[in-house]
């Protein structure tokens, strides 16, 4: 279980904030542009991987974590599709 008063809790909160901010940036991207999009995609994948490492007991925290993982997955898919379409032209 994550204790928010520890460095683990701080790390979780920072990943959540960075993930939220990056998803908000990516939602407006409509065209793949290197290197910006490559870096964003890498960060999205890293944040998702790191968020899955946290284990929660509280139902609210589990839902919050899963919601962010779902948002990250959606943005990863979006950028991967933009990248794929960019390379086909």
Query: Residue 5: what pLDDT?
Result: 65
Name the fold adopted by 7-87.
Methane Monooxygenase Hydroxylase; Chain G, domain 1 (1.20.58)
- According to DSSP, residue 55 is labeled -
- According to DSSP, residue 24 is labeled H
Greatest Cα pair distance, the chain, in angstroms, is 50
10 Å Cβ neighbour count for 18?
A: 14
Query: Residue 1: what pLDDT?
Result: 61
Six-digit token string for 59: 């139902």
Query: Residue 7: what pLDDT?
Result: 79
Residue 84's pLDDT band (cuts 50, 70, 90): very high
Residue 22's pLDDT band (cuts 50, 70, 90): very high
Mean pLDDT of 5-16: 83
Query: Residue 52 above 60 pLDDT?
Result: yes
């Amino acid at each position: 279980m994550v204790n928010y008063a520890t460095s683990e809790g701080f790390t979780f909160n920072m990943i959540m904030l960075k993930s939220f901010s990056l998803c908000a940036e990516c939602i407006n991207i409509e065209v793949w542009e290197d290197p910006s999009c490559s870096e964003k995609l890498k960060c999205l994948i890293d944040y998702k991987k790191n968020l899955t490492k946290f284990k929660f007991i509280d139902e609210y925290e589990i839902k919050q974590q899963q919601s962010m993982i779902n948002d990250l997955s959606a943005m990863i898919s979006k950028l991967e599709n933009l990248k794929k379409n960019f390379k086909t032209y």
